[in-house]
Every structure is written in structure tokens, then in C-alpha cells.
Amino acid sequence: MSEKTAVSPTRQEDFPEWYQQVIRAADLAENSEVRGCMVIKPWGYALWERMQAVLDGMFKATGHRNAYFPLFIPLSYLEKEAAHVEGFAKECAVVTHHRLEAKDGKLVPSGQLSEPLIVRPTSETIIGAAYARWVKSWRDLPILLNQWANVVRWEMRPRLFLRTAEFLWQEGHTAHETSEEAVEETMKMLRVYETFARDYLAIPVITGEKSESERFPGAVQTYCIEAMVQDRKAIQAGTSHFLGQNFSKASGIQFQSRSGAVEHAWTTSWGVSTRLIGTLIMAHGDDDGLILPPRVAPAHVVIIPITPKEDTRAAVLEAADKLAAQLREVSYHGVPVQVEIDSRDLGGGVKNWEWIKKGIPIRIEIGPRDLAQGTVALSRRDRPHKEKAFLPNGDVLSGVTGILDEIQAELLARATAFRDANLKVIESKEDFYKFFTPANSDKPEIHGGFALAHWNGSAAVEEQIKNDLKVTIRCIPFSDSPEAGTCIFTGEPSKQRVVWAKSY
RNA sequence: CGGGGCGUAGCUUAGCUUGGUAGAGCGCGUGGUUUGGGACCACGAGGUCGCAGGUUCGAAUCCUGUCGCCCCGACCA
């Protein structure tokens, strides 16, 4: 009998379809009747709430506070920054009316607005306008704010979590007295994202700067964290922008400096979105569904009572409740161990598989035989699904955080090994093209990865490679000792290797 | 927005060429037997065949339009 996977097709067979099926199998989200928009279901939203909680704490710890700015932005605001217009104009939802009137049994828009409003694709301009009001003196700086919000970008090809017309994110917006301070802020928040990705999502990321063509519209410099997922493509998991004085000039954020001169503030913005959920799915999921890193898992442990006989049912359920209560007393990195009890009247196998698909780190079965022996059967999501350890009750309580840490570490180790195995130093144009060309062009197999190659810094070369291979520069990685060399495409001098990949 | 494909029950789909008013598997409900890894039996609910026109005595089936989804481009977190 061949081993049946919980998710079909497998990653090897059809990665994009596998991704969609994992979302369904894990009950994370579904497509809405509104094109490009998603319904985030409780398990998916709980995951987002965990991410929010951790990130919010990290933002507060770095001196930021939360605020909230309007969903609607006057059209004229977007026009203020030329590059910004260029970047976002083509994907804005526009509100033109403020009333509906009944007409022939239908509702038709009425009450035209004197100036159309756009639904925020990002909030630089409206926050900039507020900062312009708030900043008078160098003593008013810095302003360090964040907002948790939804934004709308009218995308051509939506994909659940990865690219949706509406998505949830946080956007940090800061204003500073000096360029140096703003740059420092930009880097600081990038490091927050890097830490979050590594220590919580168990995803190793490459940090670096975007090339000009990938830069945020209106930014002076865009920095990013780039992750590799299991089809070896890159995904930008977070960005941090040094905006220079572009937006403060556009919005009029001016202050009197220590010397009395009127100067424009230096601003930054930085964000991560629900795309992190998509990244997590593709980084860790397997052919049996989602795998959640314990530090962001909405629940750590599910207890599945096994009640084959009526006369032992009550005792088993009682033991399950007791174990759950004891586990909840245990603290895992500052949060109580989150325990679910699945006492639905279903077969044990069915319940087990549901939780496997949902990616819960630990499954504990407790049945009559365990009661007699004072044990439980414990399974881990990072191990083969049939593997069970029979542990004395006490060992579960004392060992649960250790097991969770092991799972967390294992996921990071796997993702890192995978990333490193598919990261190649490439020295010639020929090897580069070979690296990114699938053997089967009709139905491309998983191929490629991250290529570290020298580049002369020319946007034209980037454009050519993008046209030929759909490969782009994901980032110019930070390096203490950049190794100079020769551009593999032009033979011209290169300051350092950059990271090339196909991307989401 | 261009090129291709597809819309039949919650999901996967048969039927369409050759028009006669819809069938299956999974899932769901009830009852029972089960339950330490995706159980079984019986009964049952669920479909204006994406939508709107047209042709026809009659349309899931043929024609036109439209909407949506998927894949490939262009664009993007």
C-alpha cells in the first residue's frame, strides 16, 4: 500500500496547486466572492494575531507607538510625490460617491464627491500631511509611529496571502532630524524583521538593499529581507525604506533646526503583511499540510482523548482535562502553553489527520491504556506522522517547552539547510542561464534557487535577464567585506556579488 | 489588459460531439456497529447545470453576450 499524503498534489507534482490545497486543508483562508479578496478563517487569523502580538512588542520595545490614520486618502495627496504616483496609480481603488439611491429596484451611486478619495495602497502621503502639522521644531522629532491596517492594491493576479487586493499589514512611519538618524532607524527595523523571521517564523532571510528597479516608489533606498521557499523561489518578506526628504518635501514636513534654519525632516517607512503567512506555508509546509513553528503557532498542543469503551470514557476525558490544565500552567517563552482538546465524537485517525494538516506542533493521545500506565502518546509535527513516543505524564509537563524549542530549532535548521543547498555562487553567464532553465519547459520542474553572481550595477542588464529568464536581483546583500569581481554578463567591474532569483 | 483553458451539489467530477429536463465518489445529516492512525452498514438531505439572451415543441447539451476562476505574459508586498 503506497503512502497517501494528506495534501494532493504534492509539492513536487505541482507546487502552486499544493500551496492552495494546504491553505484549504489547514482551514486558513478562502477566496471571497469579491475578486482578489480573501476570508481569513479563525486558524489563519489566530496565526496572524500571534505574529502581530510578537511584532507589536518588538516595535514598542524599539520606541514606537501605534496610531491610526484614515482609510481614505484625497486623490491630490497621492499626486504629491512623482515616483509614488508612478508606482501606485495603476492599482488604486477610487471612491467617487457617498450615497446610493434606489432606481428601478436597484441601488445606484449618487452624491458625487468633489474630490475622489483613494483607498490607501500605503499611507505615506496622509501620514506625511499629519506630520507636517505636528512638526514645528527639532524638539518635535523624532516621530516614531506604527499603524496596523488594511490596504488595497488592485492586483491583476491575486493569490491567497501572497498577493491579494486587500491585505492586512503594519506600516511604520517615522520622521527624523537628520539623515543619519533616519538611516539608522531604517536599518534597525530591518533587523527587527530579520530577527522575527529567524527566531519566530524559523525562516532564515538574506538582508540587503534593493536595486533601483525594485525600489519602493519614492524611496531613496529600499532594504529587504528575502526568504527562499520550497520551490526555490525568493519571496520578499519585509521591507524597510529610507525615504530621504522626498516625502517631507512633498508633504511639507518642516522644522526649525538647532541652528534656527528651516529644514525638511528625514522619513522612513517599513512594513510586513499577511504575506508572511504565505511565506510560512511555503517555507515549512510538507505534503501532509501546514507545519507551524511553535513560537507563532496559535496552539501548541492538541490533546486527543481516545475513548474506545464507554466505561472508560469519563475517566479518559477527565485525565485529558487535567493534563490540559497542567500544560496551561507551563510558560513557553512568556506565553502559556496553548492547548486544544479535541473530544469530538470522531475516529482517532480522522482527528489526528486534521491536526496534522493544521500544522499543530504537538499531538497528544490519551487513552485507557495510558491511564493505567500513567503515560501519554506524543507525536511531533516535525517527525513522521506515525511516530509516537509513550511518555510518563510528568515528563510531558516538564518536557513540553523543550520539545517545542526542539521543533522550532529543527524547522529553522531545515529551512537553512534547504536555502544553503540551493544557493549557488555562479561565475559565468552560461552557468547562470543553465541554473535558471528548467529541464522541462512545458511543465517546469522545481529548479534554480539563489544565484550569487557579479553584476556591473546596470539596470539594462537586469532588464535583459528579467526578459530572458524571469530572474531578478532580489537584493544586494549586506557584506562587511564585499568581494569585487567581474560582471558575468558584461565583463565590466563589479563591486560585489548580488542575489538573483525567480520571485513571488 | 493580451493569449490559452475551464465553469454541473461543499469538493472532485460523468453527461455535451449525436438536444428529450441530471448521475457518481468524497463530504454532510440520522440511526447503529466502531474507535490506540484517514472505519463500516443502512437510510437521507443537498443541484434554477456561473449568469443573461437567442434557436427549438423541448437546452446542462447548439448560438451570442456577460461574469468568474485557473495557467501563461505585463504589474506588484
First-last CA distance in chain A? 37
Tell me, what's the pLDDT at A105?
66
Across-strand partners of A207? A225
Sign of the C-alpha dihedral, residues A71, A75, A77, A78?
positive
Residue A72 has a pLDDT of 93
HEC string of A25-79 equals: HCCCEEECCCCCCEEECHHHHHHHHHHHHHHHHHHHHCCCEECCCCCEEEHHHHC
C-alpha A217/C-alpha A91 separation (Å) is 13
Residue A3 has a pLDDT of: 58
Nearest nucleic acid nucleotide to A308, CA to C1' distance: B35
Residue A2: the pLDDT is 40
Q: Write out the residue limits of the CATH 3.30.110.30 domain(s) in chain A.
A: 423-501
- Specify the nucleotide whose C1' lies closest to residue A151 (CA): B77
For A296, which DSSP code? T
Provide the 10 A C-beta neighbour count for residue A260: 7
Does this complex have an ipTM over 0.90? Answer: no
Please count the residues of chain A.
Answer: 504
DSSP A445-504: PS---EEEEE--S-HHHHHHHHHHHS-EEEEEE--SS---EE-TTT--EESSEEEEE-B-
Q: What is the pLDDT of residue A32?
A: 81
Query: What is the tens place of the pLDDT at every residue in A390-407?
Result: 999 999 999 999 999 999
Residues 6+ apart with CB under 8 A from A427: A453, A488
Has domain A15-284 been given CATH number 3.60.9.10?
Answer: no
Tens digit of pLDDT for each residue in A239-255?
999 999 999 999 999 99
Q: What rounded mean pLDDT belongs to chain A?
A: 92
The alpha carbon of A64 is separated from its chain's Cα centroid by a whole number of angstroms, namely 20
Can you spell out the DSSP letters for A336-365? EPPEEE---SS-HHHHHHHHHHHT-SEEEE
- Residue ranges, comma separated, of all CATH 3.30.930.10 domains in chain A are 15-284
Distance of alpha carbon A180 from alpha carbon A176, whole angstroms: 9
Q: Is it the case that residue A267 has pLDDT exceeding 70?
A: yes
* Class of the CATH-defined domain A423-501: alpha beta
**pLDDT per position as a tens digit, A432-476:** 999 998 887 767 788 899 999 999 999 999 988 988 888 999 999
Q: Which CATH class is domain A301-404?
A: alpha beta
Q: Which nucleotides of B are covered by protein (CB under 7 A)?
A: 1, 34-39, 68-77
Average pLDDT for residues A114-130, to the nearest whole number?
93
Cell of A199: 527566531
**Å between CA of A21 and C1' of B10:** 15
CA/C1' separation A104–B56 (Å): 33
Grade residue A107 by pLDDT with cuts at 50, 70 and 90. confident
Residue A371 has pLDDT above 80, yes or no: yes
pLDDT in tens, A207-232: 999 999 899 999 999 999 999 999 99
Residue A172, SS3?
Answer: strand
Phi, psi of A128 (to 5 degrees): -60, -40
